[in-house]
């Protein structure tokens, strides 16, 4: 018999690791776009536990350093909203 509570917990942990993995994958792309930026920010908003936020903050620091790449393509930094980084 399945332990439903444990099954749900495991599924949530897998989802969270999938989100962290997705954020990492975005950061490793050769060419970043506004779409990548928006997805990266959306992932960060879904992570709520301190351990998740800690890992994401490391990735976000790396993404922050690459914002210039997107701004060069777009001609400005208007895509960055206050409080997102």
Q: With respect to residue 82, please indicate whether it lies within any of the assigned structural domains.
A: no
Q: With respect to residue 32, please indicate whether it lies within any of the assigned structural domains.
A: yes
**Dihedral of alpha carbons 69, 70, 73, 76, sign:** negative
Q: With respect to residue 11, please indicate whether it lies within any of the assigned structural domains.
A: yes
pLDDT given for residue 82 in this prediction: 84
CA dist list (Å): 60 to 4, 9, 28: 34, 26, 12
Tens of pLDDT along 3-39? Answer: 555 544 556 666 666 899 999 999 999 999 999 999 9
Q: What is the pTM of this model?
A: 0.78
Q: What percent of the chain has pLDDT over 90?
A: 67
pLDDT of 46 strictly over 70: yes
Q: With respect to residue 20, please indicate whether it lies within any of the assigned structural domains.
A: yes
Alpha helix positions (H), 1-85: 4-27, 34-46, 50-65, 67-74
Averaged pLDDT score across all residues of the chain: 86
């Amino acid at each position: 018999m399945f332990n439903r509570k444990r099954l749900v917990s495991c599924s949530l942990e897998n989802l969270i690791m999938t989100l962290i993995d997705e954020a990492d994958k975005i950061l490793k792309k050769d060419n970043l776009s506004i779409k990548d930026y928006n997805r990266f920010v959306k992932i960060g908003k879904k992570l709520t536990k301190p351990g998740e936020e800690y890992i994401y903050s490391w990735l976000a620091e790396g993404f922050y350093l690459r914002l210039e790449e997107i701004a060069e393509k777009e001609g400005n930094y208007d895509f960055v909203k206050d409080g997102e980084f």
